[in-house]
Amino acid sequence: MLPSIPVLADYGISPTHGFLPDVLPLTRLPDPYYNKWEAIVANLQGLILSRRLRGVVDRLPVLSTIGLEHDAEWRRAYMLLCFMAHGYIWGGDSPSDRLPAPISVPLLEIAEHLEVPPVATYAAVCLWNFKPLFMDEEIDNLENLATLTTFTGSLDESWFYLVSVAMEARGAPIIPLMLTAIAAAREDDATTVTSCLNTFAERVDDLSALLQRMHESCDPHIFYHRIRPFLAGSKNMADAGLPQGVIYEDGSGNETYRQYAGGSNAQSSLFQFFDIVLGIEHRPTGEKKATSGEEAERQGRAPPPNHNFISEMRRYMPGPHARFLGDVQAVANLRGYVERNSANRPLAVAYDACLSMLRSLRDRHIAIVTRYIVIPSREVRARSRSPETTRRRVNLATGSRQRAPGIAYHAEEPDAANGGKKNLKGTGGTALISFLKQARDETGEPAVEEWTKRFMSRRPRAEGQGDFFAGKPEEGAGLEVVADTEEVTMPGLAGSWTMDDDVGGICNY
């Protein structure tokens, strides 16, 4: 008997707002008992700039969570404490590896209640951190959104979060749409499945247009040096000053160091939902696709465990959202249905269009990653020997100056999946350029039509490599030589740049 198709209401997911809360995030906790938390976050930017946040937090009483009643209040409290926690850890000249009891005790309780880790997740900084400017306008309109809290008070930081909020809202109707497609595939209703897939492709194209608007109001220099350090977690952050992680003081005297990934767009349930319903499989970074012979050998055996970065990020989603993804995975049938009906040309083309649009969105994300992380990180390394850099803060942005190759890279050994080059890290604490490129390439692997497979697996040809300067005939003269570098031109504040294999990522889709 087939498992039942998940019902959105069972997971607290809205058919109109998706993974955003159906009830708008509170702008303030109603119980005056929590006024001290509200006052600190209302003045967070000033307290961080004046280096007074840690002293103020240290003098706070440990507040109970007994006054939190509705889900919206628990979410608001979680958001407040996460901003306080990351401001406390990263708001000094060097990071603090201890989180005091006034933050850690209630944060641990609230995180357990909401089934999220006690760290600034995507839910804390995006999903539960927005408000509409006008109640009669849609929240997928960027011009109608504002953040509730930021670390820096800058428009750039607000815009960075709100682009993701608008994308979540714009993509929300895809969720019930694709559940309808799954049900239609069970009934062998190819017409409905095709219609749903066509609408999916159009919606994902809308999301790409929203993502491209990141450049409008978020400056790469401000993001890299002022915003990104506060989003870092405590996992793989040795070069940023947290070699063991962070101790969450709970008064027991037996606290141990904890390590958590920082906020990452890989924690968006929406984009993992897209991969699941389309049957896109992501392997651990660097692992190659199995050959046909290896696949045949595996027939009849359980699939190998899939411990990759994307699956790990589910632990950073609200519990009901993560369970929803697991239950959708149990009923996802569209890839198999399309493969069995590959002779149905409209169905196959619609499915491949979805893959193409999602791959295109990931291409745009890599371009943003390059402009917002790669270019500033190279500038940091170029200035690292300058005499003006004698007094330095230690965080995710400045760690690249402390040693060669620096925080942006693996300290242990080169990344084999990246041609032996070391790889930039993101706020999630992982090597991201290899992850991003592999995730993009894996998006096209289930394509049904041969022309689609060729289109999505194409590699650009480098200029000048098709003539005799490429070498002797036996070395490839006159033949197409596959380029290792993808040329992407991005005009703007960063000028023109090249996206090559030794670059890194922001937060991942």
pLDDT reported for residue 392? 60
Q: DSSP for 254-315, please give it.
A: ---EE------GGG-HHHHHHHHHHT---PPTTPPPPPHHHHHHHTTSPPPP---HHHHGGG
394: left (phi over 0), alpha (psi -120 to 50) or beta: beta
What pLDDT was estimated at residue 475? 40
DSSP structure class, residue 499: B
Q: Is 365 annotated as a binding residue?
A: yes
pTM of the model: 0.81
Report the pLDDT value the prediction gives residue 290, as an integer from 0 to 100. Answer: 60
The identity of residue 509, as a single letter, is Y
The domain locations on the chain are 26-284+307-364
DSSP calls for 58-115: HTS----STT--SHHHHHHHHHHHHHHHHHHHHSSSS--SEE-HHHHHHHHHHHHHHT
Cα 169 from Cα 122, distance rounded (Å): 15
Residue labelled with tokens 């939902």: 273
Alpha-carbon torsion, ordered 239, 244, 245, 248, to 10 deg: -150
What is the amino acid identity at position 23?
A: V
Q: What is the pLDDT along the chain (509 residues), one digit of tens a residue?
A: 889 999 999 999 999 999 999 999 999 999 999 999 999 999 999 999 999 999 999 999 999 999 999 999 999 999 999 999 999 999 999 999 999 999 999 999 999 999 999 999 999 999 999 999 999 999 999 999 999 999 999 999 999 999 999 999 999 999 999 999 999 999 999 999 999 999 999 999 999 999 999 999 999 999 999 999 999 999 989 988 999 999 999 888 788 999 999 988 889 999 999 999 999 886 666 677 665 554 445 444 434 445 467 788 999 999 999 999 999 999 999 999 999 999 999 999 999 999 999 999 988 988 898 888 877 887 776 665 555 544 566 776 666 444 333 223 333 334 444 444 445 545 444 455 666 776 666 666 667 666 566 566 655 444 444 444 444 444 433 333 333 333 333 333 333 333 333 333 344 33
Tokens of 77: 């409290």
CA dihedral 272, 361, 140, 183 (to 10 degrees): -50
pLDDT at 432: 58
Task: Give pLDDT, residue 469.
Answer: 40
The correct CATH number of 26-284+307-364 out of 1.20.1080.10, 3.40.50.2000, 3.40.50.620, 1.20.58.480 is 1.20.58.480
User: Which DSSP symbol is given to 132?
Assistant: E
φ/ψ (deg, to 5) at 501? -80, -5
DSSP states along 470-498: G--GGGTTTSPPBPSSB-----STT-S--
Sequence-distant (6+) residues with CB within 8 A of 116 are: 78, 123, 124, 316, 317, 318, 319
Selection from 456, 461, 499 nearest residue 482 by Cα? 461
- d(C-alpha 332, C-alpha 336), whole Å: 9
